[in-house]
Amino acid sequence: MKYLGALIALLIAADPGVAQTSQEGAPPIPMDIPVFLVGDSRIDGAGLQPYEGVWSIGSVGKAGPLEIGEKIQAGNVSVQKLERVELDGRPVWRRTIIRKPAGSDTVLATVSVYLEVETLKPLRATILQPGRQEMGFVYDWDEDAIHTLGGPSGAGVPPVMSMDLKMLEAGAHDVWMAALPYEEGFTAKIPVLMASAGAKYWAVPRVVGSETVDLGDGTQLDAWVVELDWWGIAGDSSYFPGGGRNDTAGTGGKYWILKNPPPGVGKVFRVQTEIDRNTDVVIQMQNGLGEPN
């Protein structure tokens, strides 16, 4: 697996053609940091709060970090929602992202991921684009296998993935990144799968500082700055670092996580990810809970 474009596609419903190549000469994966397995109480899914808001999607260069209150020129917007619903008679989190062109009501794609409330273990994912059949995945943790939703099924149809370890879903990493116990010096190693690519990773979030950010409506809040590194598992030698040139983002992604968001506001304020040597894609709340300019 040499690309993380599918990860961006599930996070912000971006074009699957946005590809990121893995880093050559990867360092060894850290061995002396805590390992958070699914079910670890330090991944606090039950402590999350529902929210709904709109984030801008645009691009920036690699000249340096964004300034406080700096706006992103939106090519598209991402309407995001985290809510408690029922799935097969059990309470779950449903994280939904609706992608639209900026200034338009046209829906380009709707992506939903259903997660176990306490552990954030993935249960189902759906992807709906206008004019196409709904597709997605069913995560069967009794059989440790992932099957295609809406595709062929029955005897002789192999699963998308066979698992030997319960893992979080890369396509919902905005949710589990919000559920970690950040503090100065925090880092951890978390097993993660990407059902859309049939890939497995160790995700390693690292707190690299804290900053004040402006939600875009004059509200200023403190945020953890977290770089997210990825190492391939099971013979996959790919490596995606979170940090990039000039203190910008790398191909793994850099996150600004609000320390104490107001009720109804999502904790992940900004995600910045390198898409080529000169360009980062940014998804950012920048007009409070209203539509971006």
Q: Say what the pLDDT of residue 158 is.
A: 78
- In this predicted structure, the answer to whether residue 1 has a pLDDT above a threshold of 50 is no
Cα–Cα dist 21/79, whole Å: 28
Cα–Cα dist 255/265, whole Å: 16
| pLDDT 10s digits, 254-273 | 999 999 999 999 999 999 99
Mean pLDDT, range 3-31, rounded to an integer: 54
- In this predicted structure, the answer to whether residue 2 has a pLDDT above a threshold of 80 is no
Q: Say what the pLDDT of residue 11 is.
A: 47
Cα–Cα dist 54/97, whole Å: 10
| pLDDT 10s digits, 200-229 | 999 999 999 999 999 988 899 999 999 999
Question: 3-state SS string over the chain?
Answer: CCECHHHHHHHHCCCCCCCCECCCCCCCCCCCCCECCCCCCCCCHHHCCCEEEEEEEEEEECCCCCCCCCCCCCCEEEEEEEEEEEECCEEEEEEEEEEEECCCCCCCEEEEEEEECCCCCEEEEEEECCCCCCEEEEEECCCCEEEEECCCCCCCCCCCEECCCCCEEHHHHHHHHHCCCCCCCCECEEEEEECCCCEEEEEEEEEEEEEEEECCCCCEEEEEEEEEEEEECCCCCCEECCECHHHCECCCCEEEEECCCCCECCCEEEEEEEEECCEEEEEECCECECCCC
Cα–Cα dist 141/165, whole Å: 9
Q: Say what the pLDDT of residue 43 is.
A: 97
pTM: 0.90
Q: Say what the pLDDT of residue 19 is.
A: 39
Cα–Cα dist 173/176, whole Å: 5
| pLDDT 10s digits, 59-96 | 999 999 999 999 999 999 999 999 999 999 999 999 99
Q: Say what the pLDDT of residue 235 is.
A: 80
Identify the residue with better confidence: 289 or 228: 228
Q: Say what the pLDDT of residue 17 is.
A: 31
- In this predicted structure, the answer to whether residue 5 has a pLDDT above a threshold of 80 is no
- Measured in degrees and rounded to the nearest 5, phi and psi for residue 195 equal -60, -35
Give the pLDDT band (50/70/90) at residue 149: confident
38 and 191 in contact (C-beta within 8 Å)?
yes
Q: Say what the pLDDT of residue 120 is.
A: 98
Cα–Cα dist 55/74, whole Å: 9
| pLDDT 10s digits, 89-139 | 999 999 999 999 999 999 999 999 999 999 999 999 999 989 888 889 999
β partners of residue 59: 281
Cα–Cα dist 202/289, whole Å: 33
